[in-house]
Structure formats: structure tokens, C-alpha cells
Amino acid sequence: MMMKKKILIGGWFTLPRLGTEAFSALMKQGVVYDKRLGFKFDAATDVDLATKTIGLALGEEVELAVRCFICGEEACANCPYFEVCDRRRVSPLCLCEKHAPRKGIYELYQKTYADSAGLS
């Protein structure tokens, strides 16, 4: 079974030394790098290319995950749509298994969105 490198979009992650060529490619693809924190995919990252670059450099499959919009935890764990979801293109405003089934969650979702957009 091939190893997988899980990357939470918008979260910091570490990689072993990749070499100058792979590191340079990731910087050109918009991956954020901080010497202390590591790497991060953000809105400016070409996720398709960066995922391929990391996969080739590591010799591993790269699995992407997104955060829960309410609590910030990984939203993909136990998601019923996991197998068909394209996390490279899906909205980062997903809900985790704790928040998705809750009654009244839509109001909390709206409040979180308004707070993050500076509308409240």
C-alpha cells in the first residue's frame, strides 16, 4: 500500500528536505513557507501543481483535507462525500461531523461567515 501525505488546506505542514528544484517549484506555485512553521497552501497556491510536485518529490500520494468553517478542525474525517469530493476545488467552508448534523447550525454558519467577512 502506498504511503499518503495528508495536507490540511490552510494549515501548516512539514516536509523533509526536498531539494532545490522541488522547493523552488513549490514557491513558484504559491506555497507559503516559514522556516519555523513549515509549508502552507493558501488562496494563492496552485493546489493541483503543488500537490503533484510534493507527490513526486516524496514518492507518496498526497491527500488533501479542508477545515470545518465553524471550529477549524479537519472536516473530511468521516464525511459521507469523501470519496467523491474534489478537495482541490471545493469551498473551504465545509462542516465537520460534529457540526454538520446539528440543528441551528445554519445560523452559526451565517454568524461565523459574517464575523470572518467583517460584516458583524
pLDDT at res. 89? 67
pLDDT (tens digit, 9 = 90+) per residue, 70-118? 788 887 777 777 777 776 666 666 877 777 776 666 677 677 777 877 7
Q: Indicate the DSSP class of residue 75.
A: S
Distance CA 53, CA 46 (A): 11
Distance CA 60, CA 82 (A): 19
pLDDT at res. 55? 95
Residue identified by cell 526536498 is 18
Neighbouring C-alpha atoms within 13 Å toward the C-beta of 12:
6
Three-state secondary-structure class, residue 28: helix
pLDDT (tens digit, 9 = 90+) per residue, 21-72? 999 999 999 999 999 999 999 889 999 999 999 999 999 999 888 888 778 8
Q: Do 12 and 37 form a contact (C-beta atoms < 8 A)?
A: yes
Among 58, 45, 38, 34, which Cα is nearest to 9's? 45
